Structure 1
Amino acid sequence: MKRNQSRIGRWIVAVLALGALGVVFANLLIDNMPKGEVQKVKGYSPWETETVEVMESLPLQDGGRIKPFSTYAGFKMLGLHGARSMKIEGENGEIFKIKPTEWLMDSLFRPELAIDMPTFRVDNSKVLEAIDVKVKGRRDRYSYSEIEPGRDKLIELAKSYEPIEKNDRDPVQQQTIDLAYNFRNYESLLAYFGFARSGITLHGSGGKAGEDRRADFSAVMTTAPQLRNEISRTQQEGRNIDERLQLLLQQVLDGANFSKFGLFILPPKSSTDEDWLSAGNAIMSVMTMESKDPELAIDDIKSLETAVRSVASGEKEFRKHLNEFKDRVEKRAQSRGELKHIDTEVSYFKKDYFLNALIFFLIGAICALAMWAFGQTKAGKAFSWVTLGFSAIGAGYCVTAIVIRCMIMQRPPVGNLYDTVIFIATAGVIFSLLVEWMTRRRFALGLAPILGTALIILARRYEVGDAGDHMDPLVAVLDSNFWLATHVITISLGYSAGLLAAMLSCGYVLVRGLNLDGENKDFRRALTKAVYGCICLTVFLSLVGTVLGGIWANYSWGRFWGWDPKENGALMIVLWTLAILHARLGGLIKDWGLHLASLFTACVVAFSWWHVNFLGVGLHNYGFTAGKGTIWLFYATMLVFIIFGAIAMLVEKARKAGSASAGDAEQVKALEA
Structure 2
Amino acid sequence: MPHFTLFSRSLIFLVMVSAFAGSVFFSQEAGASSWNKDLVYLFKTLPVQESGRIKPLDTAARFMLLRMNGKRTVSVNQGGKNISLSATEWLLDCLFHPEAAREYAHFSVDSYELITAIGLTPHGKKRDRYSYSELEPALDTLFALAHEVSARPENIRSLLDEQLIALANNVLLFDELTHFMDFARLRFDVAKSALLTLLFPEDHEVPLSKVVEKLPDQLKSLVDQAADMDEERKREIAKDLEAVFQRLDEVSASGQMLALFPPLSREEKEWMTPAKYLESAFIGMPADTVSGDIALFETLADAAPDSGAFVSAVKRLHGRITQEAQARGEYKHIPLEVHFYDARYLFFSQWLFVLSFFLMAFSWTRSPDSRLARVLSFSILPPLILLGISITLRCIIRGRPPVTTLYETVLFTTFVAVAIGFFLEFISKNKIAVSVSALLGTIGMFFAWRYEASEGVDTMPAVIAVLDTNFWLATHVTTIIAGYGAGLFAAALAHVYFVLHLPLWKEKDSAAMQTLATSIYGVMAFSLVFTLIGTILGGVWAAQSWGRFWGWDPKENGALMIVLWILAVLHARRGSYIKARGTAVSALILGMIVVFAWWGVNALGVGLHSYGFTTGIWKSLGVFWIVETFFIAAAIGISVLFPRKEMPVQKGSAQP
Task: Place the TM-score, normalised by the shorter chain, in its bin.
Answer: 0.7 to 0.9
Name the CA shift for 1:160/1:203 in 2 (closer, same or farther; >3 Å).
farther
Give yes or no for the alignment of 1:215 onto 2:206. yes
Aligned to 1:179: 167
User: What is the correspondence of 1:24-173 to structure 2 with a 5 Å cutoff?
Assistant: 46-91=34-79, 93-136=80-123, 137-173=125-161
SS at match of 2:507: coil
- Which residue identity does 2:640 align to in structure 1? L
How far did 1:471 drift?
A: 1.5
What is the one-letter code of the residue matched to 1:444? Answer: A
Cα distance in 1 for partners of 2:230, 2:588 equals 78
Q: Deviations over 1:318-350 (max 9, x none)?
A: 122111111111111111111111111111100
Give, in whole Å, the separation in 1 of the partners of 2:315 and 2:136.
Answer: 34
Q: How far has the Cα of 1:558 moved from its partner? A: 1.6
2:179–2:254 CA contact under 8 A, matched in 1: yes
- Amino acid paired to 2:255: S
Render the CA deviation track for 1:450-494: whole Å, top value 9, x for unaligned. Answer: 111110100010010111112122100001110011101110110
Mapped to 1, the partners of 2:230 and 2:546 lie a distance apart of 53
> Alignment partner of 1:119: what SS?
strand
Query: Structure 2 matches for 1:208-607, cutoff 5 A?
Result: 213-221=204-212, 222-227=214-219, 239=235, 245-260=241-256, 262-286=257-281, 289-311=282-304, 314-376=306-368, 378=370, 381-386=371-376, 388-607=377-596
Aligned length, in residue pairs:
603
| Further displaced range: 520-529 or 614-623 | 614-623
Partner amino acid, structure 2, of 1:70:
D
Q: Which aligned pairs between 1:590-669 and structure 2 lie closer than 5 A?
A: 590-621=579-610, 622-625=612-615, 627-653=617-643
CA distance in 1, matches of 2:375, 2:512: 19
Please state how far the C-alpha of 1:559 moved relative to its aligned partner.
1.5
Runs of 5+ consecutive residues of structure 1 not aligned to the other structure: 1-25, 27-31, 33-43, 657-673
Taking structure 1 as reference, are residues 555 and 67 closer, same or farther at Cα in structure 2, changes over 3 Å only? same
Contact 1:466 1:624 in 2 (8 A): no
| Distance apart, 1:160 and its partner CA | 1.8
* Distance of 1:416 and 1:431 partners within structure 2: 22
How far, CA to CA, are the matches of 2:342 and 2:486 in structure 1? Answer: 32
Aligned to 2:21: none
Shift of 1:315: 4.0
Question: Would the alpha carbon gap of residues 229 and 623 (structure 1) be closer, same or farther in structure 2, given more than 3 Å must change?
Answer: farther
Inter-CA distance 198–65: structure 2 relative to 1 (3 Å threshold): same
CA distance in 2, matches of 1:252, 1:134: 40
Evaluate the alpha carbon distance shift between residue 85 and residue 243 of structure 1 in structure 2; reply closer, same or farther with a 3 A threshold: same
1-structure distance, mates of 2:362, 2:508: 21
What is the distance in 2 between the residues matched to 1:154 and 1:226?
46
What letter is aligned with 1:113?
A
- Matching residue of 1:9: none
**Paired AA for residue 90 in structure 1:** Q
- Partner Cα separation in structure 2 for residue 160 and residue 230 of structure 1: 49
Q: CA deviation at 1:134?
A: 3.1
Q: Is the CA contact 2:501–2:642 (under 8 Å) kept in the aligned structure 1? A: no
| CA pair 290-456 structure 1, distance change in 2 beyond 3 A | same
The residue identity in structure 2 corresponding to 1:276 is W
Give the AA of the match of 1:217.
L
Shift of 1:219: 1.2
Most deviating of 397-406 and 239-248? 239-248
SS across alignment from 1:355:
helix
Give the SS at the match of 1:133.
coil
Deviation at 1:107, TM superposition (A): 0.6
> Any gaps of 5 or more consecutive residues in structure 2?
1-23, 198-202, 646-656
Evaluate the alpha carbon distance shift between residue 527 and residue 350 of structure 1 in structure 2; reply closer, same or farther with a 3 A threshold. Answer: same
Partners in 2 of 1:65 and 1:235 — Cα distance? 51
Paired letter, 1:409: R
CA shift digits 1:261-299 (9 cap, x unpaired): x2111112331221111111111232xx22333332222
1:615-666, Cα deviation, whole Å (9 max, x unpaired) = 111113425445444333332332232122111012125x99xxxxxxxxxx
AA matched with 1:542: T
CA deviations on 1:68-116 (whole Å, 9 max, x unpaired) are 111111111111111001111123x211111101000111111111111
Q: CA deviation at 1:245?
A: 4.6
Identity of aligned residues (%): 34
State the 1:407 CA deviation: 0.7
Q: TM-score scaled to structure 1, two decimals?
A: 0.85
Task: State the secondary structure of the residue aligned to 1:311.
Answer: coil
Whether the 8 Å contact between 2:186 and 2:208 is mirrored in structure 1 is: no
The 2-side partners of 1:228 and 1:467 are apart by 47
- Distance in 1, matches of 2:82 and 2:365, equals 43
Give the letter aligned to residue 89 of structure 1.
N
- Could you tell me which amino acid in structure 2 is paired with residue 301 of structure 1? I
Q: Distance in 1 between matches of 2:307 and 2:628?
A: 57
For 1:317 and 1:113, locate their aligned partners in 2 and report how far apart those are by CA, in whole Å. 22
Q: Is the 8 A contact 1:200 1:252 kept in 2?
A: no
Following the alignment from structure 2 to structure 1, what is the Cα–Cα distance between the partners of residues 633 and 372?
35
Q: Is the 8 A contact 2:353 2:383 kept in 1?
A: yes
| Aligned residues of 2:216 and 2:287 also touching (Cα < 8 A) | no
1:3-58 C-alpha deviation (Å, 9 max, x unpaired): xxxxxxxxxxxxxxxxxxxxxxx9xxxxx9xxxxxxxxxxx962121221221111
How far does the alpha carbon of each residue in 1:142-166 deviate from its partner, in whole angstroms, 9 at most, with x for none? Answer: 1112112222222222222222111
- Please report the TM-score for the alignment, with normalisation by the length of structure 2: 0.87
Distance 2:230 2:394 in 1: 56
SS at match of 2:549: coil
Task: Check whether the contact 2:120–2:138 (CA below 8 A) recurs between aligned residues.
Answer: yes
With over 3 angstroms needed to count, the CA separation of the structure-2 counterparts of 1:519 and 1:642, relative to structure 1, is farther
CA contact (8 A) 2:603 2:614 kept: no
Q: Helix, strand or coil: the match of 1:638?
A: helix
Say if 1:360 and 1:200 are closer, same or farther in 2 by CA, change over 3 A.
same
Name the SS of the counterpart of 2:605 in structure 1.
coil
User: 2:94–2:178: 8 Å Cα contact kept in structure 1?
Assistant: yes
CA contact (8 A) 2:603 2:613 kept: no
Q: How many Å separate the matches in 2 of 1:360 and 1:519? A: 33
Structure 1 position 373, deviation (Å):
3.8
Question: Equivalent residue of 2:436, what SS?
Answer: helix
